[in-house]
Amino acid sequence: VSDSPAAPILGYLRGDGRVGIRDTVAVVYLVECARTVAEAIAAGWEDVHVIGFGGCYPNTYAQRMLEELCTHPNVGAAVLVSLGCEGFDREELAEVIEASGRPVTTLVIQDLGGTRATITRGRVWIEDLRASSARTRRVPMKLSDLVVGTICGGSDGTSGITANPVVGRVFDVLVAAGGTAVFEETGELIGCEHHMATRAITEALGREIEARVAKAAEYYTAMGHGSFSPGNAEGGLTTLEEKALGAYSKSGSGPIHGVVTPGQRIPGPGLYLLDVVPDGPPRWGFPNINDNAEIAELIACGAHVVLFTTGRGSVVGSAVSPVIKICANPETYRRMSDDMDLDAGRILEGRATIGEVADELIDAIHWTAAGRPTASERLGHREFVLTYKTSEPAGPACLPTAR
């Protein structure tokens, strides 16, 4: 990978040694009842993002997700907003953040005297933090230091022949240069499991991949609904396996180094599959209610930036990490170019090659890491979704390179 663009990448060095490409304060609601207060605390600041969990009853997965998101390299400090009577373990979350060297405060609405008092406390804390703390240390970063995630959303018949192969090409380049890439959605890879297994660096990992896709097929069969939306069909995709074939091309052609589950940090360089489907019998309803639930999971695995391919035209971004949008469909791009970072639909019209758009995407990743806002950042998109799930960290067979 040539670090050719002029701007150097100067990352934000955290107390735990992780290096981010954004310097965000996370305001975290620990139950839906605290969300409006959290949003009011963050209002008006571009670099203060709201994340949180709506449920009143505790969930191990949600706890791990918020711990990993609050200690993400792109996050420099956190404000936890609790109503007071919810089940979330706020003390544990605050301890994990504090141990990572990040400033953290916990505001309990019932103790502080309600909405207004809590909003004021939160905003004053953030202003004081900025006034008092020394500037976060900046350190040089290379493209290969980034963890890059990918997702497709609003897929159509063009996704699998333009934008997704572009991401696959970029993943091949990044991983060959010592970088880290993660693709996801075992449920959207149904039908590709045997081919994926042949790319696994060990036979045991290959068997794990096949078992995890089989789990996804069982889970979706029990739900009566796969990861397939009416818009996918309107865009020309007929079956789940046809969508999977297109989605799979985002993973490129290189060896697969491991499988992780949501909130499990990627252990080292290479190409990883994120298994987003819950473990155990179906529970808590539909597992990934929309694209942002999966984006949050990629970020909780450490993704500094997420490559989002879309044919129908998704507009979303995310809290915590920038999202780069690669539009697969030339007609969609003409209609929605404001929301897109790259036009891969040119490939379909013979106006660019996959290699050319892949080079543009590597440049876009570089500029994004150097601080240039993506289309969704400019438009203020900071979606965030976190719901109940049963999901355990993947074991040693899934991570043959981990020590």
Partner 1 sequence: MSGQPPLPPGGGARRDERVAPTLLLLADGDDVLIAACDLRPGPHLASSGEDVLVTEPVQLGHKVAARTIAAGASVVRCGVPIGSASTDIERGAWVHTHNLMSDYLATFAHRGGQR
Q: Which residues bind partner 1 (CB under 8 A)?
A: 156-158, 160-162, 165, 168-169, 172, 190-192, 195, 217, 220-221, 225-226, 228, 230, 233-242, 245, 248-249, 251-253, 311, 329, 331, 347-354
Q: How far is the CB of 224 from partner 1 (least distance, A)?
A: 8
Q: How far is the CB of 117 from partner 1 (least distance, A)?
A: 48
Q: How far is the CB of 219 from partner 1 (least distance, A)?
A: 11
Q: How far is the CB of 181 from partner 1 (least distance, A)?
A: 13
Distance CA 262, CA 251 (A): 18
Where do we find the tokens 């207004």? 116
Distance of CA 361 to the CA centre of its chain: 17
Q: What is the CA radius of gyration of the chain?
A: 20
Q: Which is nearer to partner 1, 192 or 386 (CB)?
A: 192
* Beta-carbon contacts of residue 92 (< 8 Å; ≥ 6 apart): 63, 67
Q: How far is the CB of 330 from partner 1 (least distance, A)?
A: 8
Question: ∠ CA(301), CA(302), CA(307), 5° rounding?
Answer: 95
Q: How far is the CB of 280 from partner 1 (least distance, A)?
A: 20
Q: Which is nearer to partner 1, 80 or 166 (CB)?
A: 166
Q: How far is the CB of 225 from partner 1 (least distance, A)?
A: 6
Give the sign of the dihedral formed by CA 117, CA 118, CA 124, CA 125. Answer: positive
What token pair was written down for 220? 């979706």
What is the distance in angstroms between the CA of the first residue and the CA of the last residue of the chain? 27
Sequence length of the chain is 403
Q: Which is nearer to partner 1, 235 or 317 (CB)?
A: 235
What token pair was written down for 164? 């997704």
Distance CA 231, CA 251 (A): 23
Q: Which is nearer to partner 1, 41 or 328 (CB)?
A: 328
76: part of which helix (H) or strand (E)?
strand 75-82
- CA proximity to 318, closest of 303, 328, 332: 303
Q: Which is nearer to partner 1, 99 or 222 (CB)?
A: 222
Q: Which is nearer to partner 1, 76 or 252 (CB)?
A: 252
Q: Which is nearer to partner 1, 92 or 234 (CB)?
A: 234
